[in-house]
Amino acid sequence: MIPIAKPYLTKDEAQAAYDTILSGWITQGPRVAEFEEKFAAYTGAKYAVAVSNCTTALHLAMIVAGIGPGDEVICPSLSYIATANSIKYVGAKPVFAEVDPVNYNLDPADTERRITNRTKAILIVHQIGMPADIDTFQAIADKHGIKLIEDAACAAGSSYKGRKIGSHSELVCFSLHPRKVISTGDGGFITTDNEEYARRMKLLRQHGMSVNDRVRHESSKLIFEDHVEVGYNYRMTDIQASVGIQQLAKLDWIVSERRKIAENYHQAFRHLDMVRLPIEKEGFYSNYQSYSIFLKENCRLSRNDIMQKMLDEGIATRRGIMTTHRETAYLEESKDIHLPASEMASDRSIILPLFIPMTEAEQQKVISSFIKIIAG
C-alpha cells in the first residue's frame, strides 16, 4: 500500500526527544527558545513565537491584530476549517472569497470586491504549500487600511519572490502537524517583525504570565509573577521543540526532495488533456506539501471512481481541499453563499501520494496507475 503522506522522522529526532526527556526540563523552556531563534533565522523574520499548533497561532494573530466582535475578515472557504474558525474565536465573521481553481489560492479581485467598512483583515492561505501572491494582497490591504495575515500552515520551506515564507507580512502562522512537511507531532509558529506583537503573543500563550518559568527558574533573586491579562495555555513543549530543531535542519533538503517528485509527476502528466496541474509562476516556489490535480470537464470518470480505482491498486489518494461553507458547523450561516469556483476546485481535485522517502518504483506505480485509470 502506498500511503498519501508520512512524516520524515529519523533517529536524530528520537535521540533529541530522549535527551530532552532526561534533561529534566520537558515543557516550554530552553529548547523552545532555541527553536524560536532558529525558526526566525530560517524564515528571515525578526521574531518567531512557538505555540501548540497553527490553530492557536492563528487565534493569537487575530487577537494582536485587534480583531474582535463585529469585525469581518476575508478568507477562502477552500481551506482547512481552522482558517475560518480562528476568526470566529475572536467573535468576528469570516467572509469567504473565491479562489483561483488552478493554484487554489484566494482570487485578489474577488477578495477586494468583498471588502466593506467592517473588514479588518485579509487572511490569505498558501494552500498546500503554493504561495499566494503576497504583494498583491498587501497592496489591497494597504489601499483599504486593513491588515494582512498569512495562514502558512502548509508553507514552511516555500518561498515568494526569493524570500522564505514568514518574512513578508506582519503575522505569518505555521503548522508542524504530521500532515505538513516538517512535524513535531503538533506545533506551530507565528513569525513577525513587530516587537510588540511578539511580546504580547509570548504573554498570551502562557496564561498572560508576566514572568516566564525559565526566567523565574534562572533568577538568583526572588521574583513573583503577575497575570496581566486573560491568556491561554498555547505552549509548545521542549520535547516537541527538540524534535523540531532536528526537523528544521532538514527542511531545505526535504523540500528539494519533494520538488523532485512533484517534477516527475508534472513531466508524466503534462500531456494529459483531462487534467490541470499545479502551476508555479515566476517567483513562486512551493514545498509541495501536497500534489493536487484538477480534473477537467472532459475527464470521463468521476473523481470518486478514480480514487476507488487507485485504492484497488494499492494507492491512497485524497479528495481536494475542503470547503468550509459546506461543513455542518457553517451550513446555517452559509445559506446564501455561492462559491462555484471553490466548490469546483474542491469537488474535482485529487491529491496523490507524496512523501520522503518515496522510491522510484512507488512514484512509477502512482504515475502508471493514474494514467491508465484516467484513460478509462
Ligand X SMILES: *Cc1c(COP(=O)(O)O)cnc(C)c1O
β-bridge pairing 119-125 and 72-76: parallel
Cell of 337: 453563499
Residues 6 or more apart whose CB falls under 8 angstroms from that of 89 comprise 59, 62
Restricting to residues 98-127, which ones interact with ligand X according to CB under 6 A? 125
Residue 39 interacts with ligand X (CB under 6 A)? Answer: no
Binding mask 186-225 for ligand X (x = CB under 6 A): --x-------------------------------------
Stretch that binds ligand X, among 52-60, 116-124, 240-248, 261-269 (CB under 6 A): 52-60
For residue 53, state whether it binds ligand X (rule: CB under 6 A): yes
150 binds ligand X (CB under 6 A): no
Report d(CA 92, CA 62) in Å as an integer: 9
Contacts 24+ apart (CB under 8 A), 11-19: 12/246, 13/243, 13/246, 13/247, 16/242, 16/243, 16/245, 16/246, 17/239, 17/242, 17/243, 19/242
- Binding window for ligand X (CB under 6 A); candidates: 61-69, 148-156, 201-209, 263-271: 148-156
Kindly give the residue spans of alpha helices, DSSP state H, lying in 30-72.
30-43, 54-64
Q: At what angle do helices 360-374 and 238-269 cross, to 10 degrees?
A: 50
H/E stretch holding 76 = strand 72-76
Among residues 55, 77, 169, 246, the one that binds ligand X under rule CB under 6 A = 55
Sign, CA dihedral 115-116-121-127, equals negative
- Decide whether 153 or 261 has the Cβ nearer to ligand X: 153
Closest approach, Cβ 154 to ligand X, in A, equals 5
323 forms part of the interface with ligand X (CB under 6 A): no
Nearest to 30 by CA among 215, 176, 221: 215
What is the rounded distance in angstroms from the CA atom of residue 98 to the CA atom of residue 227?
Answer: 42
Q: Which is nearer to ligand X, 39 or 370 (CB)?
A: 39
User: What is the nearest approach in angstroms of ligand X to the Cβ of residue 181?
Assistant: 11
Tell me the window of 75-83, 134-142, 263-271, 364-372 that interacts with ligand X (CB under 6 A).
75-83
DSSP structure string for 83-118: HHHHHHHTT-EEEEE-B-TTT-PBPHHHHHHT--TT
- Single out the segment in contact with ligand X by CB under 6 A; choices: 8-16, 23-31, 74-82, 139-147: 74-82
Q: How far is the CB of 99 from ligand X (least distance, A)?
A: 12
CB of 94 to ligand X, least distance (A): 13
For ligand X, which is the closer residue by CB, 177 or 276?
Answer: 177
Among 83, 111, 119, 247, binds ligand X (CB under 6 A): 83
Active site residue 147: no
Catalytic residue among 180, 281, 296, 309: 180
**Cβ count within 10 A of residue 229:** 12
User: CB of 228 within 8 A of CB of 21?
Assistant: no
Q: Which residues are catalytic?
A: 180
Query: Binding residues for ligand X, per CB under 6 A?
Result: 53-55, 79-80, 82-83, 125, 151, 153-154, 175, 177, 188
